[in-house]
Structure 1
Amino acid sequence: MNDEVNGGCKRLGRFDVDFARRTITRISDGAFIKASRSETLIFTLLAEAANNTIYREVLLAECWQGKIVTNNSLTVAIKNLRTAFTKIGEHKIITTEPKLGYCIRQTALIDDGSHPPKNDAVNSEAQSIVKNEKKEDIKHQELDNVAFKKTRIRNIKLFDIIIALAFFFTTLIICYRLLFFVDTTSVEGLPVIYDGVDLPKPVQNAILQNDNSSISQWYAFPMSKGCNYYQLFSISNGHFVDYSSTIKQEICSVK
């Protein structure tokens, strides 16, 4: 996002986002929250696409660019945003779309008059606090930039390396298994690459129940002769998504 890179500001409905200070301010009364870089980007992305669900995979890719993170990182960031907004009286900013991602409704960005401007004395004090904080932020940012250049290499943590290796081997295993796919079939018109053996009914049901417009291809294959070990993947917005857990494995033997 260019605004974030340039340290600029953006107005999104009744909120102003300051990427340099990493604050989200309610315009009507000046109440604001402090957020991390990723949390600021999450709010911006959701607000810009108001009324539309943003998938978890997209948020992880866009808001942690260049970093390998887990779904838990996104869950924690959303929780932090909701907690911060609650403190300024905003209780329904972010909506969870089960198994998909998150959304901000357009109505949440429209000023309904529930947070009128405060009196001049309070506003003046708040503005003074904001100015002082901004000066301190600039000083800290300059120091942080110098320290960051010196410590960037040393800050690679073992956990990050483990996550990277896990992702690499998972991708390697998936690619290896793709070599054994020998045929293409369809489930009520949905394209599925598989190993040529008739797909059990529970696998077909899982494909039909989870299909959406973002999915371009399905992959289904057994891990062994027992269908309890079937794995189901899709390609959604350029990413592999594992749907194996949605298969009712206990009735796989029923066709």
Structure 2
Amino acid sequence: MRDMTTPVLLGDFKIDPVTQVLIRTTDNQSVKLSRSESLIICMLAKQPNVAVSRDALLEDCWTGKVVTNSSLTVAIKHIRSAFSELGADDVIVTEPKKGYLIRLSSVEELKLEENNKSNASEKPPANDPTDSHTGHATPVSPSKTIITKAAVLSHLTQASKRYLVTALTFTLTIITLSQMALFVESTQIDHHRVLYDGQVMPPAVIDAIKATPDPKSKFIAYPLGGICDDYQLIVIDNKAGFIDITSQIEQGNCRG
């Protein structure tokens, strides 16, 4: 893994793994995260747009602790909420059967690349650019500077257009699923459609879904984590809206 003491820049955001704060650099608005959540962002930022497996995240972001898949699921939800609070709703993406990734647009990738180059250039140069005979710095050709700026501007313009098209395409989906970003997989149980996190649901949750008489109902099965791996079960009714039927699940009591 990368150095976990250096702040990581992600487009308009910065995560400081030492203070465990996610910051929007445009106005310095921030959200406090846990250590594990900060490490997850740092690990995903190492290779933007490349999925990192759940097992790798559990192993590297909870060092020395025994945790379950539910712990990672809850941590990812908190990270998504933090980005959403700072105005970004689709940064953390779930790749079914693969894991999670940080999605960066072309513009954000360019910013990240420039920041990485800037950090690398902080080391003293090997050769002194001054003229050894005159003691004056060798001037840089103005034409080279103009060409470089034009190339960057052209890249930013093209990237902005691609990003705008993508954003418009997914706007309705983001609005509809902004509160259900965690539930990226769906299954059928007795003709009921169930949105869930891809993990095996306990028999008690499945029985509660089967006990619902309306075959057109949709469900959200959400793992709350903890010692018992309890679940919250929500029915999406076209007329009544969201109905919490968690009390109908016979989850037992293992908290003593």
- Interval containing the TM-score (normalised by the shorter chain): 0.3 to 0.5
Q: Looking at secondary structure, tell me which structure has more helix per residue.
A: 1
